Amino acid sequence: DQQVKQNSPSLSVQEGRISILNCDYTNSMFDYFLWYKKYPAEGPTFLISISSIKDKNEDGRFTVFLNKSAKHLSLHIVPSQPGDSAVYFCAASKGGGADGLTFGKGTHLIIQP
C-alpha cells in the first residue's frame, strides 16, 4: 500500500513557465514533508520541506503548499529553468526530516526550451 503517491510519472513544461508537481499521502501520522530532486547517477538532493503546522514554505524559486485536509502537497517552481529537468520525489515522515522517509515514485520533470 503506497502511502505517498505521485500520480504523474512525467511532466513537460516550457522554460520560463511555472512547473507544478503534485503529491498525495494517506497516512495521517505524517507531520513533515520534503521534496528531493534527483539527476541520473547522483543521489537525491534536498530541495525544500514543510512542517504540518504550516501551509506554505518558500525558498527562492521553489514553493511548497500543504493542504492537510486533502492530504495533498504541491511543489511550484517559478520560473522553470533547463537545469530543473530531473526526477522529483515527494517524501514524508512521522518525526521530522531526520527520520526514515517514505517516498513517492517520483515525477520526471522535463523543461522544454
Q: Which residues contact 95 (CB under 8 A, 6 or more apart)?
A: 31, 32
Give the CB-side neighbour count of residue 80, counting CA atoms within 13 A.
21
CB 3, min distance to other proteins, A: 11
Q: Which residues contact 68 (CB under 8 A, 6 or more apart)?
A: 52, 55
Which one of residues 97, 111, 112, 113 is an interface residue with other proteins (CB under 8 A)?
Answer: 97
Residues 44-83 that bind other proteins (CB under 8 A): 44-46, 49
Cell for 83? 537545469
Q: Applying CB under 8 A, which part among 12-20, 57-65, 74-82, 96-104 lies near other proteins? A: 96-104
Our finding on whether 113 is near other proteins (CB under 8 A) is no
Binding map of other proteins across residues 1-20, x = CB under 8 A, - = no contact: ---x-x--------------
Nearer Cβ to other proteins, position 30 or 32? Answer: 32
DSSP 8-state class, residue 101: P
Pairing of strands 72-77, 19-25: antiparallel
Binding site for other proteins (CB under 8 A): 4, 6, 32, 34, 36, 41-46, 49, 89, 91, 96-106
